[in-house]
Amino acid sequence: MRASQFFINTLKEAPSDAEIISHQLMIRAGLIRRLAGGIYTWMPLGLRVLRKVENIVREEMNRAGAMEMLMPAVQPFELWEESGRGPKYGPELLRLKDRHQREFVIGPTHEEVITDVVRREVKSYRQLPRHFYQIQTKFRDEIRPRFGVMRGREFLMKDGYSFHTSFADLQREYQVMYETYTRIFTRLGLKFRAVAADTGAIGGTGSHEFHVLADSGEDGLAYCPDSDYAANVELAEAVAPVVSSVGAGGTLSAPMQKVATPGKARCEDVAEFLNLPLISTVKCIALMTDKKDVPNEFVMLLLRGDHALNEIKTQKAIGEFRFAREDEIVAALGSKPGYLGPVGYSGRLVVDRAVAAMRDFVCGANEEGFHLTGVNFARDLPTPSEIADIRNVVEGDPSPDGNGTLQLCRGIEVGHIFQLRTKYAEALSCTFLDENGKDQVMEMGCYGIGVSRIVGAAIEQGNDERGIIFPTAIAPFSVVIVPMNFAKSETVRNAANALHDELQAAGIDTMLDDRDERAGSMFADWELIGVPHRVVVGERGLKDGKLEYKGRTDNEATLVDVAGMRAFLQQKIG
């Protein structure tokens, strides 16, 4: 490829709405351009990257025995009513009407469509198992699109769906996909980790997320360096402490005392004011639940002062909830938030495991400006009847598998595999006849990869002050040839053209920058774009039969014989 025939449009400054580094660099390098909020055009340069990611995903899916197909982007809304997911998905579904006023949606995912296809096409156990996948543009009307291509509304996704006669066979395929995903992300050249995950809105049982590790990631991950335990913090279990945490000043079973703590509403302030460690304080969280049998119930949660509430775990423990309003809190406890406590409270109380093990702790006195110290269960208030894991794990917590302690890091979710089981197959009557001629509901698995998101994630992971650092596997070009004085020097022109043709013939994806730009701006462009290998062709080196090689992250250039450059690059690219 020659730059004069390509379209390169780099910017010195990124638009001010680009917030994170990958978004800024993608705009500056001319990979994408924004059309509307969360909707981007993939420019020729960006499309090359996207296609490379896509092809690796495709090759590995095919290798694992999945069949590619392409489903419609536009789907009749009836299918979503049939699966029961229409109302639940809500405003994220982009709906539209055709000229006959028939309702359609732009597909945010394709469980319904594939299940519909399979229930029509597959009738017998002899046709199973089957795994179909597609690489499709999807649309989710995100509440808040941001981070460019990382959380766009329109995005490219690989979604695969497998169908089985038994749960055991689904588990077999799930394992195959786990390994396939591991191969894919390895080939893409990304640092990643697979973690146990919450199944979320899609539903089902077993589930793993694949995360590209990056500090800017939106997800918190907990992992154990001494074992292979890894989980999303939404899910990571906080195990109960083995020993009781010692409370105030190390003194055990001091009498409970009411102390004035004017203006100290947060645990941090109270701990500092009383000169006690934060871990001896208890925070009180007031919620409201609304169930058929118990409408509008006030629920109090107890967490250790240094811990944070995990809303997903809490929902699992007590069901749907919302935070209580101030007037509801005052009505239930007679105090404003900041001074709440469980002593004397008789409503529903859910105690975090860590709090249940505490002694001589500090909590609010249910009176503005006052806290209680030296509080103990069994003595000052009843032994808790509801103990649950409702907090986020923190660094240093024991690993739930009993090996070592947890570390935290951040990740960008780029893949997710689920054992869906029979949820959709049942709703859509997707059945087969077994060996005995009996109707059975199929077991389903579903496997997603955010193809366009991977491009952003890769840049988030690979960049420096000069621009993008792409792994060779997904760089728009593997090698760029930068000739000095291309227009005027015939020697340079001939050498550059010859090298370009030689590399292309050897199957190396090569760009020859024949734009006759100044050296500085060509260097800056290709470093911004992130091409991993650069060869400079100049009269200076050519005099001695040499070319200059420089890797994107190298500090110095290396002189290589003209004749040996192809082999040199092949070895570098691997």
Query: What is the pattern of x (binds RNA, CB under 7 A) and - over residues 38-57?
Result: x-------------------
Q: Does 540 bind RNA (CB under 7 A)?
A: yes
DSSP secondary structure code for residue 255 in this structure = P
Nearer to RNA, 360 or 413 (CB): 413
Q: What angle do CA 173, 174, 180 make, to 5 degrees?
A: 85
Neighbours of 35 (CB within 10 A): 10
Q: Does 380 bind RNA (CB under 7 A)?
A: no
Can you say whether the dihedral through the CA atoms of 513, 515, 519, 521 is positive or negative?
negative
Which two tokens mark 403?
Answer: 């090996």
Taking the complex as a whole, the smallest distance from the CB of residue 47 to RNA amounts, in Å, to 16
Nearer to RNA, 170 or 387 (CB): 170
**Residue spans of beta strands (DSSP E) within 305-359:** 322-323, 348-352
Q: Does 309 bind RNA (CB under 7 A)?
A: no
Which residue from 209, 352, 397, 460 is in contact with RNA, where contact means CB under 7 A?
209
Neighbours of 435 (CB within 10 A): 9
Nearer to RNA, 33 or 130 (CB): 33
Q: Could you give the 3-state DSSP secondary structure of residue 149?
A: helix
Which two tokens mark 42?
Answer: 């993939």
Taking the complex as a whole, the smallest distance from the CB of residue 207 to RNA amounts, in Å, to 9
Q: Which stretch binds RNA (CB under 7 A): 71-79, 186-194, 338-346, 410-418?
A: 410-418
Taking the complex as a whole, the smallest distance from the CB of residue 325 to RNA amounts, in Å, to 13
Q: Does 518 bind RNA (CB under 7 A)?
A: yes
Tokens 């774009």 locate to 529
Please report, for the chain, how many H helices and E strands are present, in that order: 16, 31
Residues 496 and 481: their CA atoms lie apart, in Å, by 7
Cα dist. 449→88, 357, 359, 412 in Å?
23, 42, 47, 12
Q: Does 362 bind RNA (CB under 7 A)?
A: no
Taking the complex as a whole, the smallest distance from the CB of residue 199 to RNA amounts, in Å, to 9
Q: Does 86 bind RNA (CB under 7 A)?
A: no
Q: Does 460 bind RNA (CB under 7 A)?
A: no
Nearer to RNA, 13 or 435 (CB): 13
Q: Does 143 bind RNA (CB under 7 A)?
A: yes
Cα radius of gyration (the chain)? 30
**Residue spans of beta strands (DSSP E) within 216-360:** 219-223, 230-232, 257-260, 282-289, 297-304, 322-323, 348-352
Q: Does 219 bind RNA (CB under 7 A)?
A: yes
Q: Does 145 bind RNA (CB under 7 A)?
A: yes
CA dihedral 531, 534, 539, 542 (to 10 degrees): -150
Residues 273 and 148: their CA atoms lie apart, in Å, by 45
β-pair partners for 281: 362
Taking the complex as a whole, the smallest distance from the CB of residue 556 to RNA amounts, in Å, to 10
Q: Which stretch binds RNA (CB under 7 A): 69-77, 153-161, 397-405, 503-511?
A: 153-161
Which residue from 2, 336, 550, 566 is in contact with RNA, where contact means CB under 7 A?
550
Which residue from 86, 160, 415, 530 is in contact with RNA, where contact means CB under 7 A?
415
Q: Does 12 bind RNA (CB under 7 A)?
A: yes
Residues 531 and 551: their CA atoms lie apart, in Å, by 9
Q: Does 11 bind RNA (CB under 7 A)?
A: yes
Which residue from 166, 440, 485, 497 is in contact with RNA, where contact means CB under 7 A?
485
Taking the complex as a whole, the smallest distance from the CB of residue 453 to RNA amounts, in Å, to 4
Taking the complex as a whole, the smallest distance from the CB of residue 414 to RNA amounts, in Å, to 5
Q: Does 168 bind RNA (CB under 7 A)?
A: no
Residues in contact with RNA, total (CB under 7 A)?
65
Which residue from 453, 515, 533, 552 is in contact with RNA, where contact means CB under 7 A?
453
Which residue from 30, 525, 530, 533 is in contact with RNA, where contact means CB under 7 A?
525
Residues 456 and 394: their CA atoms lie apart, in Å, by 28
Taking the complex as a whole, the smallest distance from the CB of residue 211 to RNA amounts, in Å, to 9
Q: Does 266 bind RNA (CB under 7 A)?
A: no
Contact 153, 37 (CB under 8 A): yes
Taking the complex as a whole, the smallest distance from the CB of residue 311 to RNA amounts, in Å, to 7
Q: Which stretch binds RNA (CB under 7 A): 185-193, 262-270, 355-363, 523-531?
A: 523-531
Query: What is the pattern of x (binds RNA, CB under 7 A) and - over residues 488-507?
Result: x-------------------
Pairing of strands 533-537, 479-483: parallel
Residues 392 and 155: their CA atoms lie apart, in Å, by 31
Q: Does 110 bind RNA (CB under 7 A)?
A: no
Q: What is the 3-state secondary structure (H, E, C) of 388-442?
A: ECCECCCCCCECCCCCCECEEEEEEEEEEEEEEECHHHHHCCCEEECCCCCEEEC
Which residue from 82, 218, 269, 328 is in contact with RNA, where contact means CB under 7 A?
218
Contact 20, 147 (CB under 8 A): yes
Residues 549 and 13: their CA atoms lie apart, in Å, by 28
Taking the complex as a whole, the smallest distance from the CB of residue 177 to RNA amounts, in Å, to 12
Q: Does 466 bind RNA (CB under 7 A)?
A: yes
Q: Does 427 bind RNA (CB under 7 A)?
A: no
Cα dist. 89→141, 281, 414 in Å?
10, 40, 21
Q: Does 450 bind RNA (CB under 7 A)?
A: yes
Of 222, 443, 402, 242, residue with least CA distance to 313: 222
Taking the complex as a whole, the smallest distance from the CB of residue 323 to RNA amounts, in Å, to 10
Contact 469, 530 (CB under 8 A): yes
Nearer to RNA, 260 or 487 (CB): 487
What H or E segment, with its residue span, contains residue 93?
Answer: none
Q: Does 444 bind RNA (CB under 7 A)?
A: no
Residues that bind RNA (CB under 7 A): 10-17, 19, 36-38, 92, 109, 140, 142-147, 150-153, 155, 157, 200-202, 209-210, 218-219, 311, 413-416, 448-450, 452-453, 466, 484-485, 488, 518-521, 523-525, 527-528, 536, 538-541, 548, 550, 557
